[in-house]
Structure 1
């Protein structure tokens, strides 16, 4: 989600820490808007720099010290205060731990306890769960202290702990150094990223990898970063139209919801020249619909993870390669590996590994998981895929989501892609369910666009697109799919919907 810079102009020395990124930008563009929050105010780079120093002084006055972990619990309307607190924590030499108001209290309690946070800075009327930490508010931290903070912070220092979504278990804390976060920062004003845009719009939650990437874009990209407290298609498209937004970032769930409302036919979205999708693979049928809905935009799919960033692949939607996720960007590396971690030749399926072009991330206080996922700078992505002859990545499925049905292994992503081709399917998700003969059978949950969608009709539609063992044994029509704050389907909750439906049938309720 960060575009490469362009050579050809004298460069200011690249900052090695996030506080240096902000200091440099404030010196270059003091009066330029950095962040704009719908209904939540805006902030220039000079204001951001000054307020970060003031809050950092407040943190130091209250005993926060170098290396302390500080939780940052903020809601979507508080992006401005969150951005100030994030940089202030790092200026004080401490480690920022971004958290979202959308998390359950038990999740917040686990994260704060796991990283042993000494303090929590909170947004509007939010109170973290009880624990061994102090609760602080941005307004009380700013105080009367002024001027730069005199704390030495280096590129190798720990800057951030970001917790994963926990879709397959307890969230893991992913630790990133300043060198990791500041990698690739563009310092030449005329070469800043997304130069085609005055505004970059997103609606990613605080506390997600996508949201953190947008915060770093606010520090070193050209456009002001525009966001809103919570995504709705109506507000999102209105902001595009009102601000003539040139760059837009979404997750597939947002794109699907927007398209299903038909708002793209009633709003003027012609200003968008780049629409990027992140967090999970964009189904090819959805990418094709986006290309029609945003006729002036390049539709781009980004593939990375909280663990692998800033390594990523970037793929401009190409109808001749609809399922491809692109090739490595920013000097990173990509390989498909067998069980022993050794690279496999093009065309063979295996585990997806990525290598960061800078200091790699790691799991915080989890040596066993760290050893399994990180190896000599390489990161095991937890996905299965293959490389084609031109080096493009084709994702097959999450390793944990592959369904072994009888003698076959079935990709849930492939089945979902076929489901999205049906004109009456608004959303779709696929899981494996226990089966007395096959061991596990394919099951699909779909959100219909109209009331005429039936399981038998859907299976008939899929017979021309999928092999027999890939066609769902069960189809459940639902109003919504269970998703986490990043927009990813929570598969364990999805399986619960099938269990509830089976129980209801047994009891004669349906």
Structure 2
């Protein structure tokens, strides 16, 4: 595999297909590869004019309506030899400041109308234009290209660094990914690992990548229909909204051949419902992390294997091991570790972290692998509910709750108990009124007694972070307020 850089990918694509459409933000003009390359070169020149040198970090603060400008800024930073730090415009000012200070950002490029923390300099794309021409640094495959901050669901966000060789791994092949599609549609936000994967797809994959300023199930389904998108990517929360809105009854979604879900496990009941809404699509669940990418497992929905997130693909590896990394036998439950086929990532400024070890990445999940190599997640390590003498998997509880026909979305988590230490609580959004006792009766034959929720609360919607993952810390706090 030839090591490439991101600027090389853009330069080669612009040369081979200058008028090809790379990216479409619905409601805005399409971005062609020639435009992407030329506009990025202008930004790179403007950055050098501001004193940006090879290895500097530059923050990028943009919203979902600004995907095209963000793509230009990202490639412009990398063409200048610097590293990009993608950040969502929806982050709190204190979090933005922490991330920019943590990585030592030289400055910030941001969308017009945004106010960003005063870290070094700040500028919009127009503010980086200059009439003077400067020589830009040409990065090497091993150079730092990106620092992406984790969602911080278990603590303070951490900056995950990736080289050009990591980001561009597997790119530049003669057969481009998703060749069955003319358009690939997604609604992943900027500043997430899933969003960055879509940015690389815009550079390397066959279809034009389409996104929209703000996700609603109606708008998303209408775009699928109008573009006849052959490939669609979303997170489980979006899938649930699409199903609950009944979009399959109002829109022709038959053109979708691949529907991929990422960022969180896809409950089997939700996957089953997607097969009805998208009659010709293969429903696929992708499991990875910001730290482990591009390593991943892929699972094409199989009712015979409910709960599995699939097998390792494309040269990556997955294993179950102890916290120290000692491998366990098939069928045993332990910690999930993944090994990337590319140059591994690392925590910026924290080389001694126990997450990365001898090329393997500790995922923070508990799981098991069956004899055929299929991975089953048991739970997030920090989410396992230790109730009396038992350990309860919240993923297992959630799978059972989702089987109730009136449940739209649900999350299980632990709350304190004076005798047992911790007991299971469930927060759920429903289509029709559903009492805690009715839910427990439904679950009685599906869960063991110690797995049944001691507390059940109904919410309008589950709290989620910018990456679409349920914020269980917020749910625990809300339960403390009402118990």
Is the counterpart of residue 173 in structure 1 residue 159 in structure 2?
yes
Q: Which of 171, 174, 177 is the matching residue for 1:185?
A: 171
Contact 1:443 1:475 survives alignment (8 Å): yes
Contact 1:54 1:145 survives alignment (8 Å): no
Contact 1:54 1:144 survives alignment (8 Å): no
Contact 1:416 1:429 survives alignment (8 Å): yes
* Cα distance in structure 1, aligned partners of 2:339 and 2:230: 31
Structure 1 runs of 4+ with >4 Å offset: none
What does 1:219-368 align with in structure 2 at a 5 Å threshold?
219-368=203-352
Is the counterpart of residue 492 in structure 1 residue 480 in structure 2?
no
Q: Which of 377, 399, 408 is the matching residue for 1:426?
A: 408
Q: Which of 375, 385, 388 is the matching residue for 1:406?
A: 388
Residue 390 of structure 1, CA deviation: 0.2
Contact 2:4 2:164 survives alignment (8 Å): yes
Aligned to 1:157: 143
Residue 14 of structure 1, CA deviation: 4.3
Q: Which of 116, 135, 150 is the matching residue for 1:128?
A: 116
* Cα distance in structure 2, aligned partners of 1:257 and 1:494: 20
Contact 1:53 1:149 survives alignment (8 Å): no
Residue 498 of structure 1, CA deviation: 1.0
Aligned to 2:202: 218
Residue 53 of structure 1, CA deviation: 0.6
* Cα distance in structure 2, aligned partners of 1:149 and 1:24: 20
Residue 164 of structure 1, CA deviation: 0.2
* Cα distance in structure 1, aligned partners of 2:75 and 2:294: 19
What does 1:101-112 align with in structure 2 at a 5 Å threshold?
101-112=89-100
Aligned to 2:429: 447
Residue 15 of structure 1, CA deviation: 5.4
Aligned to 1:507: none
3-state DSSP of counterpart to 2:209? strand
Contact 2:45 2:136 survives alignment (8 Å): no
Contact 2:189 2:195 survives alignment (8 Å): yes
3-state DSSP of counterpart to 1:41? coil
Residue 41 of structure 1, CA deviation: 2.6
* Cα distance in structure 1, aligned partners of 2:246 and 2:359: 44
Aligned to 1:140: 127
Gaps of 5+ in 1: 1-12, 503-510
Residue 149 of structure 1, CA deviation: 5.4
Contact 2:73 2:109 survives alignment (8 Å): yes
TM-score w.r.t. structure 2 length? Answer: 0.98
TM-score w.r.t. structure 1 length? Answer: 0.93
Aligned to 1:9: none
Q: Deviations over 1:469-506 (max 9, x none)?
A: 0000010011111110111111111012212222xxxx
Contact 2:235 2:468 survives alignment (8 Å): yes
3-state DSSP of counterpart to 1:77? helix
3-state DSSP of counterpart to 1:155? coil
Is the counterpart of residue 374 in structure 1 residue 360 in structure 2?
no
* Cα distance in structure 2, aligned partners of 1:471 and 1:272: 38
Aligned to 2:371: 389
3-state DSSP of counterpart to 2:91? coil
Q: Which of 448, 455, 460 is the matching residue for 2:441?
A: 460
Contact 1:51 1:142 survives alignment (8 Å): no
3-state DSSP of counterpart to 2:67? helix
* Cα distance in structure 1, aligned partners of 2:399 and 2:112: 40
Residue 42 of structure 1, CA deviation: 1.6
Is the counterpart of residue 43 in structure 1 residue 31 in structure 2?
yes
Aligned pairs, number: 483
Give the superposed CA RMSD: 1.2
* Cα distance in structure 1, aligned partners of 2:62 and 2:453: 41
Q: Deviations over 1:424-464 (max 9, x none)?
A: 101101110000111100000010111x2100000000011
Gaps of 5+ in 2: none
* Cα distance in structure 2, aligned partners of 1:495 and 1:114: 28
* Cα distance in structure 1, aligned partners of 2:74 and 2:104: 17
